[in-house]
A and B are shown apart, each in its own frame.
Chain A
Amino acid sequence: MARRVSLFVTCIVDQLFPQIGMAMAEVLERLGFAVAFPQAQTCCGQPAFNSGYRQEARQVARHFLEVFENCESIVVPSGSCTSMVVHHYAELFADEPRTRSRAVSLAARVHEFSSFLTEVAGVEDVGARFEDVVTFHDGCHALRELGIRSAPRRLLANVRGLELRELEPREECCGFGGTFSVKFGELSGAMARGKAEAIIQTGAKTVVSLDPSCLMQIQGALSRAGLSIRTLHLAEVLASR
């Protein structure tokens, strides 16, 4: 029987980048997983948590727990949202031991997409073909909170026709930061331009990342600068052949 995975596509993919969710489902199905999409899912609560609204974040987190509690493996196309569940839910429910332990046991089953493929499914070559020069942007939460460095690179290395050129500096924030990007719009924009310049330096035609929100920020800056470099989620690259 096919192993079952449930998608948590995140609110941003659901609302703005549905193609990322579809691509992720396609890759997982191609690898033989039975993919489910719990319809009652919405958001992980991170926007409220990062803005200092813990009460509201707790309410959303509780909803997330109810929706996903009975799922075996949950795969997420975002390092940032994964990290919210994995790292911050326990802290949010510090004063509610029962909910806290539910959150901790759920956290162990929530996986960011690329590390699900390499660490859980044990796959590094998904049989994709993508003829292009690409560069990879490390989302900060995937990188520093989840420690994901090599998984996406190993997966990209096995994509036929793809040439990866690393950014320099390699691990710098794109400046998104959720509400930071609107509260400090000018600063966030300046950080995005720095990222865009680094991307241009690589000569890549496509920027790949694990986080739709970083991609939105980077795409916004590239397009404002009149550049035709496109942004794609890793799942979209892995789905193409």
Chain B
Amino acid sequence: MSLEFDSKIHKTLADARLQQAIYTATGRFKDARLKVVAQDVLPEYQELRAQANALKKHTIDHLDHYLEQFQSQVEAHGGKVVFCQDAAAVADFVLTLAKERGARLIVKSKSMTTEEIDLNERLEHHGLEAVETDFGEYILQLARERPYHIVAPALHKTRYDVAEIFEQRLHIANETVIEKQAAIARAALREKFLAADIGISGANFLVADSGAVVIVENEGNARLATSAPRTHIAIAGIEKLIPRAQDLATFLKLLARSATGQPLSVYTSFLSGPRREGEIDGPDEFYVVLLDNGRTRLLENPARRQSLYCIRCGACLNACPVYRKIGGHSFPWVYSGPIGAILTPQFMGAAHEPGLPFASSLCGACAEVCPVKIDIPKVLLELRADAPHNRWESLAFRVFAWLMRHPRAYELAGRVAASLVSSEGVRWIRSAPGLLNFGPIRAWLAERDLPPPPAHTFRELWRRR
């Protein structure tokens, strides 16, 4: 584990106010979800999960086919599909288009994919203004922070934190009422919507048989961002595809319920192509940027391919006892929580944060709530098997495996270890900091007590019966 990871965890654990904020907010989502997926409320819930999993599996297994179909459908409706290898390619595309159109101002609706490729920074670097229009994202843009949670980006901010940010960045003092804070943001954003040349959105689903981009949201800002400006660019990972419009019946029933505990989000937009003759709103130009950024590499491994089924509902974060303690910013990349723990090593390489796949008690709460049934603990175990092994640990496990195949040696070693961790032994270890680096036992004792070893092992007692 890197020092950075360790110190971020430590800092979050030590911050009582933050602990409370994370625990309360995730707890609210968690309880809300439980209510709407309960057996008596949604009896077909497990059936829906199985369907969603099968649909995602099928799509990911036949991605080439659906990408082609999607592209031809979008083009048939007058839109354009742009395939981008990586972050730089997306930025290039947007910058070139902005230049051609003489655009300066871009409004954005919430999109983890654009966070993944640091799009805002790249655009701002070239003199474009990109404004986040989702309330949470807007707050974070003011605070210059990364999203804390994939569904609720400003989950860690209380209204008092927001008041402080507004005071510093907007010079509006002492506004701690949430509704009024939202009104301030709305007023500031209205101007931006009207003046923007380009709207950039993400996508929750890309429907292959109809070429539609489906966006689910609660604030209506995505609807505005995708229809007010002349040009709309939807940016999405290639894994967002689903085969047919009718499959939305399955996914939409699961997404909002899993994310926020709503039966359905407030707004669900189906965008397919630019404004047609006779339509009153919609953009003149419609682009869908399909991002690879390492996704095709994930396809190569059949056991881990399921990582691409994710519909970014955030349920696994809310359920995760680790996320609920260490929060979103302890994670080394934009994707946090259980899904972040499996995506990060696969996208960024194991060396990005070697400790990440190990930062889990493998409790399985994530897999239990995942609407598309990604077996996250299984993928974590695979990533652990592939992780670079520390030399001392490797040696320890070789010794372990040898002992466990030699019962007599195991018994003897057990007695030796027991005398070491006997109460005198433990006192000695604890009183000799720095002298004796007896790693595991010391790490244990820093937080908890250890039971005194028994006078006799089970097998000794059994022999005496």
The proximity string for A residues 172-191 relative to B, scoring 1 for CB distances below 8 Å and 0 otherwise, is: 11011111111111111111
- Given the known A-B contacts A15-B453, A16-B453, A56-B401, are A37 and B447 also in contact in the complex, defined by CB atoms under 8 Å? no
Q: Which residues of the other chain, B, contact A25 by a CB distance below 8 angstroms?
A: 462
Contact B361 A63 (CB under 8 A): no
Q: Would you call A48 and B458 a contact (CB within 8 A)? A: no
CA–CA, A187 and B10, complex, Å: 8
Flag if B321 contacts A52 (CB, 8 Å). no
Those of A181-204 within 8 Å (CB) of chain B: 181-192, 194
What chain A residues lie within 8 Å of B449 (beta carbons)?
Answer: 219-220, 223-224
Report Cα–Cα, A140/B320, bound state, in Å. Answer: 12
B407 adjacent to A40 (CB under 8 Å): yes
Known: A22-B458, A52-B381, A172-B321. A182 touches B443 (CB 8 A): yes
A18 & B458 in contact (Cβ 8 Å cutoff):
yes
Chain B residue numbers with a CB within 8 Å of A194 are 321, 325
CA distance A83 to B209 in the complex (A): 42
Residues on the A chain within 8 Å of B367, using CB: 144
CB interface residues, B 2-34, toward A, < 8 Å = 9-10, 13
**Complex alpha-carbon distance, A97 and B13, angstroms:** 46
Contact of B448 with A22 in the complex, beta carbons under 8 Å: no
Q: Which B residues are in CB contact (< 8 Å) with A150?
A: none
Nearest Cβ on chain B to A193's Cβ, whole angstroms = 8
A55 to chain B, nearest CB (A): 8
Q: Which chain A residues numbered 210 to 238 have a C-beta less than 8 Å away from chain B?
A: 216-217, 219-221, 223-224
B43 within 8 A of A: no
- Summarize B's interface: helix, strand, loop or mixed: helix
A166 at the binding interface (Cβ < 8 Å): no
- Judged by a CB distance under 8 angstroms, whether A49 is at the interface is yes
CB within 8 Å of B: which of A43-57?
A: 43, 45, 47-57
**Cβ of A18 and Cβ of B400 under 8 Å apart?**
no
A18 touches B454 (CB 8 A): yes
Q: Mask for B372-399, Cβ within 8 A of A = 1, else 0? A: 0000000001001111010001100110
- Counting CB contacts under 8 A, is A9 at the interface? yes
- Determine the chain B residues whose CB is within 8 A of the CB of A50 once the complex forms: 362, 381, 384
Bound complex: CA A21 to CA B410 (Å): 18
**Is B360 an interface residue, CB under 8 A from the partner?**
yes
Across the interface, B361 reaches (CB within 8 A) one of A13, A18, A177, A219, namely A177
The residue of chain B having its C-beta at the shortest distance from the C-beta of A44 within the complex is: B404
Find out whether the CB atom of A52 lies under 8 angstroms from the CB atom of B444: no
- Chain A positions within 8 Å of B405 at CB level: 42, 59-60, 62-63
Q: Which of A104-150 contact B (CB under 8 A)?
A: 140-141, 143-145
Give the complex CA separation of A140 and B358 in angstroms.
17
A48→B447 contact, CB < 8 A = no
A14 at the interface (CB under 8 A from B): yes
Contact of B13 with A15 in the complex, beta carbons under 8 Å = no
Instruction: Say yes or no: is B152 at the interface (Cβ < 8 Å to chain A).
Output: no
Known: A59-B405, A182-B443. A175 touches B453 (CB 8 A): no
Q: Name the residue on B nearest A221 (C-beta).
A: B448
B174 interface contact, C-beta 8 A:
no
A33 at the interface (CB under 8 A from B): no
Once the chains bind, are A220 and B450 in contact (CB under 8 Å)?
A: yes
Given contacts A184-B358, A191-B321, contact A173 B365 (CB under 8 A): yes
Assuming the contacts A51-B397, A52-B385, A175-B361, asked whether A182 and B439 have C-beta atoms less than 8 A apart, the reply is yes
A27 to chain B, nearest CB (A): 15
Assembled-state Cα–Cα distance A57/B417 (Å): 21
Task: Give CA–CA (A47, B403) in the complex, Å.
Answer: 13
Q: Is B281's CB within 8 Å of the partner chain A?
A: no
Inter-chain CA distance A216–B358, complex, in Å, is: 20
Q: Are B400 and A177 in touch, CB under 8 angstroms? A: no
Residue A70 lies at the interface, judged by CB distance under 8 Å to chain B: no
Bound Cα distance from A224 to B446, whole angstroms: 10
Cross-chain contact A191 with B355 (CB below 8 angstroms): no
Query: Measured between alpha carbons, how far is A55 from B389 in the docked complex, in Å?
Result: 13
Once the chains are docked, how many angstroms separate the CA of A143 from the CA of B385? 24
- Inter-chain contact A15/B457, CB cutoff 8 Å: yes
Given A39-B407, A63-B405, A175-B321: A141 touches B381 (CB 8 Å cut-off): no
Given the known interface contacts A56-B401, A189-B448, the answer about A140 and B363 at a Cβ–Cβ threshold of 8 Å is yes
- Given known contacts A16-B453, A40-B407, A63-B405, A186 and B448 CB-to-CB distance under 8 angstroms: no
Interface string of A56-92 (1 = CB under 8 A from B): 1101101100000000000000000000000000000
Q: Chain B nearest CB: distance from A226 CB in Å?
A: 10
Kindly list chain B residues whose C-beta atoms are within 8 Å of the C-beta of A19: 454
User: A140-B364, A177-B363 are known contacts; what are 13 more A-B pairs with Cβ within 8 Å?
Assistant: A48-B400, A51-B397, A52-B357, A56-B400, A60-B401, A177-B362, A179-B440, A182-B443, A189-B446, A189-B448, A219-B449, A223-B448, A224-B447
B residues apposed to A, CB below 8 Å: 1, 9-10, 13, 321-322, 325-326, 355, 357-365, 367-368, 381, 384-387, 389, 393-394, 397-398, 400-401, 403-405, 407, 410, 414, 417-418, 439-440, 443-444, 446-451, 453-454, 456-462
